[in-house]
Every structure is written in C-alpha cells, then in structure tokens.
Amino acid sequence: MPHVKSLECRECGRTYPVEPTNACEFCFGPLEVSYDYESIARSVTRESIAAGPFSMWRYHDFLPVGAEAAVDMGTGFTPLLHAKNLGRKLGLDRLYVKNDSVNPTFSFKDRPVSVTATKALEFEFETLACVSTGNLMGAVAAHGAKAGMRTVVFFPGNLEDGKVTGAAVYGPTLVAVDGTYDQVNRLCSELADNLRWAFVNINMRPFYAEGSKTLGYEVAEQLGWKAPDHCVVPAASGELHTKIWKGLTEMGDVGLIDPPSTRMHLAQPEGCSPIVSAFETGGERVAPVRPDTIAKSLAIGDPAAGVYALQTLRETGGSAAAAPEDEVAECIQLLAETEGIFTETAGGVVISGLRKLAESGAIGKDEVTVAFITGNGFKTQEVVEHLVDPAHIKPTYASFEAAMLDGK
C-alpha cells in the first residue's frame, strides 16, 4: 500500500497510524484512510488500469492494502448497461444500470469485504466478523472461507431466509440476535473492544469503507473515462453514497477524468429513511428511527455515515427520495420486465427513487444517469412471490388448448 499516508479523523483531522481502529481518541469522529494523491497520479494511467485484471483489483493503487495478497474472488467490473427500455418508460435517454448484483455473493458488499479480508490477513487476525443487514454476512462468510479465516456473523433475527442460507453455506458461526440492526451493532461494538476479531464494519471500518469507491471508478471507466451527470444510490449507513463520490473525486484529483460535477442522489425506503428526513428538514444531524421496512438490507435506523451522506447530497446538489413501501415490489418487477434484471428490495427502492427524480425533473432527459443495483433478487424472493400464478394443465394437447387457447 505504497500510497497510504495515515488514518485521519473525518471531524478534527487528527492523524493516526494504519491500525485496526475506527474512532478518533479526541473527538470520537470516524477515521478514514488518507492517501498521497501525487504519488498515485505518478503511478496510474488509464492504460495501466485498463491492462489490469477484470475485477475491482484493477484499481488497487487507490486501495489501502497490498494487491499481491488480495483475497480476490473476482469481485467487480460488473456490467454497466444502457437501460433503453426502462429509460423510455421514465423519459430518460441516457439511463444506465450498474448491475452490481452479479458479484460472487450477489451484492456490492463483496467490494468492501474483499478489501477488509485482505487487510485483516495483513494485521494477522484469525477471525473475520460482522454485523449484517443481510448481504454483508454472505460476503464475510465467503471471503473468510477463501482466506482460511474463522468467520462469525451477527444479524437481526428477522432477516430473509435467502440471506441467511446464502451465508450459512460458507460455514460461518451464525448468531441471530433478537433485536434491530442498531442494537446488534451496539453489542458488537462492545465485543470488538474486548476480542481480537476483525469486525469488518466496526474496528476495520476505515478499510472496509474504501472498497465501495471502486464502484465510482468502474462507472467512470465504463462511460469512457467520464463521470456521470447523476448517480442514484441506495442508502443504509450512507457509506456507499459517500464513497462512490469519493471515488469519482479521486479520479478527478489524479487526472484520470475531468473534475466530476455529478449530482449524488440517494434513496431509502419510507419505513427507514432517517437520511432523507434530515435532508428534507435541512438538519445537520440525522435523528435515529426504528426501522419498519420491507427493504431489510437498508434497515439501519442510526446510520454511521449519515452526516457524510448529507454533506455529499448538499455538496453535489443531489436529492433524497423515500420510496413508498408499496412501490418496492412493483419497482423490482418494473426493472425485471424492462431490463431483464432481478434485483432485491434495495434495487426496488432505487428504481422508485429514480422514477420520482425523473418525474420531478431533477434528472433531465439527455443527462447521463446511473442507477446502482446493489443486490440480487434471488435472496428476497418472498416479496415477489405473489407473481407466481402458473396455469395448471395435464400433459395433453386438449388440456393446453382448454386452458390456454380458449377464445383465441
């Protein structure tokens, strides 16, 4: 990691050595990795990146780990698709879908976890752990298995079966906690203080968060080394939203693209939309809520990066949209029927937010817009189960005719 300078407090700017720690000792602000961008600019070019692997590791110069020992399962470099059919419906000619639901464990969480597992091995941890809203635990369990680490995953007990099974198969210790994500998170913060475990989203959070920047780099490269005019991003902790923006600005800083003027929009489900509420009321802080939403992967009531997502919204001129709960399944279906992509509830939230922004005129017809589809519908099948209504026939022509061709 030749380009890393230190960890730096996001609030007071104090610097710390690169260690598994996430909070400033003086002001309790979160720590973030800081880099020597002149050094990055000297070592990367568009050509050097393009010659790299077809995975997120082609951007290793921007990551806080050595690439040689990367725990790499082939995450990243996922398709960016020109969504012509959905765009036509929404009146957007240059709409793209970044389909990050096709990563190794079927969500974008493989990006931050690939970085964290690598860093955890560097720090010689033996146990990789996390607090999950559903997708993180699959990513942690898979990367831990690949890295030969023990894994322990904590999750609120009400998660979808597809998420739990999709993690269990990799052999982690599963701990279902009778409580909300925020309660599980408080418990695990206490555990992280007392056990020498790499909790990917607690003591390893500064490294974890960096992995999501690769979504920003990829989209810019796939658009021909240009930042989009608009990004529409789902938010739980708010980290992904801010880190896509960090990725785009870093690319501008090192001269790989023109300085971006992207508007960074954000979508949350109505039943858990603390960042949207703070944005709408002009607040500086995000008031915690108790989640009650169908989009469980976004059910964080007290978002760790909520204030930074607010800053990103304001700095970039973005908007925040709350998706009505009853639009989530409808919008999953809308994306499937127009573009052939089956996303989970978080994707339904994004498409609902996108539609609202298109209707309000916040996104113009000719502007390049990227909707981030971050998770796979096969993990939350129950929300679209009502669509399963086959014709039942006998294996005879007559039966088919009676059931299907009648009156045609």
Ligand X SMILES: *Cc1c(COP(=O)(O)O)cnc(C)c1O
Sole binder of ligand X in the list 297, 312, 352, 380 (CB under 6 A): 297
CB distance 91 to 162 below 8 Å: no
- Show contacts with ligand X in window 363-392 (CB under 6 A): 374-375
Task: Find which of Zn ion, ligand X, none residue 166 binds, CB within 5 to 8 Å per kind.
Answer: none
Q: Binding segment for ligand X among 87-95, 142-150, 231-239, 393-401 (CB under 6 A)?
A: 231-239
Q: Which is nearer to ligand X, 120 or 240 (CB)?
A: 240
- The reply on whether position 109 binds ligand X by CB under 6 A is yes
Which ranges of 317-391 does DSSP label H, i.e. alpha helix?
A: 325-339, 345-360
Closest-approach residue to ligand X (CB): 375
- The reply on whether position 316 binds ligand X by CB under 6 A is no
Q: Which residue has the tokens 């992207």?
A: 262
In whole angstroms, give the CA distance from residue 239 to residue 271: 19
- The reply on whether position 215 binds Zn ion by CB under 5 A is no
In whole angstroms, give the CA distance from residue 309 to residue 313: 6
- Show contacts with ligand X in window 73-102 (CB under 6 A): none
Half-sphere exposure of 225 (CA within 13 A, CB side): 11
- The reply on whether position 9 binds Zn ion by CB under 5 A is yes
Binding mask 138-177 for ligand X (x = CB under 6 A): ----------------------------------------
- The reply on whether position 137 binds ligand X by CB under 6 A is no
- The reply on whether position 107 binds ligand X by CB under 6 A is yes
In whole angstroms, give the CA distance from residue 75 to residue 111: 6
Q: Structure tokens of 335?
A: 């994306």
Task: Find which of Zn ion, ligand X, none residue 29 binds, CB within 5 to 8 Å per kind.
Answer: Zn ion
Q: Binding segment for ligand X among 57-65, 214-222, 229-237, 362-370 (CB under 6 A)?
A: 229-237
Sole binder of ligand X in the list 22, 133, 151, 319 (CB under 6 A): 133
Q: For 85-235, where are the E strands, in sequence order?
A: 95-99, 127-131, 150-156, 173-177, 198-199, 230-234
- The reply on whether position 237 binds ligand X by CB under 6 A is yes
- The reply on whether position 273 binds ligand X by CB under 6 A is no
- The reply on whether position 27 binds Zn ion by CB under 5 A is yes
Nearest-CA neighbor of 123 among 212, 214, 35, 199? 199
The distance of closest approach from Cβ of residue 294 to ligand X in the complex, given in angstroms and rounded to an integer, is 13
Rounded to a whole number of angstroms, the distance between the first and last alpha carbons of the chain is 67
Q: Structure tokens of 392?
A: 């039942």
Q: Which is nearer to ligand X, 3 or 98 (CB)?
A: 98
**What is the gyration radius of the CA atoms in the chain, in angstroms?**
21
Q: Which is nearer to ligand X, 222 or 374 (CB)?
A: 374
In whole angstroms, give the CA distance from residue 31 to residue 64: 13
CA distance to 25, 181, 229, 358, per residue, from 363 (Å): 42, 33, 9, 5
Sole binder of ligand X in the list 236, 299, 313, 320 (CB under 6 A): 236
CA 21 from centroid of its chain's CA atoms? 22
Q: Which is nearer to ligand X, 256 or 302 (CB)?
A: 302
Q: Structure tokens of 166?
A: 């999709």
In whole angstroms, give the CA distance from residue 278 to residue 235: 13
Sole binder of ligand X in the list 114, 135, 151, 180 (CB under 6 A): 135
Task: Find which of ligand X, Zn ion, none residue 18 binds, CB within 5 to 8 Å per kind.
Answer: none
* 3-class secondary structure, 368: coil
Nearest-CA neighbor of 134 among 337, 294, 326? 294
Q: Which is nearer to ligand X, 107 or 180 (CB)?
A: 107
- The reply on whether position 256 binds ligand X by CB under 6 A is no
Task: Find which of ligand X, Zn ion, none residue 234 binds, CB within 5 to 8 Å per kind.
Answer: ligand X
Q: Which is nearer to ligand X, 44 or 294 (CB)?
A: 294
Tell me whether strands 320-323 and 369-373 are parallel, antiparallel or unpaired: unpaired
Q: Which residue has the tokens 């602000």?
A: 29
**Per rule CB under 6 A, count of chain residues that contact ligand X:** 17
- The reply on whether position 29 binds Zn ion by CB under 5 A is yes
Site for Zn ion, rule CB under 5 A: 9, 11-12, 14, 24, 26-27, 29
Site for ligand X, rule CB under 6 A: 107, 109, 133, 135, 234-240, 297-298, 344, 346, 374-375
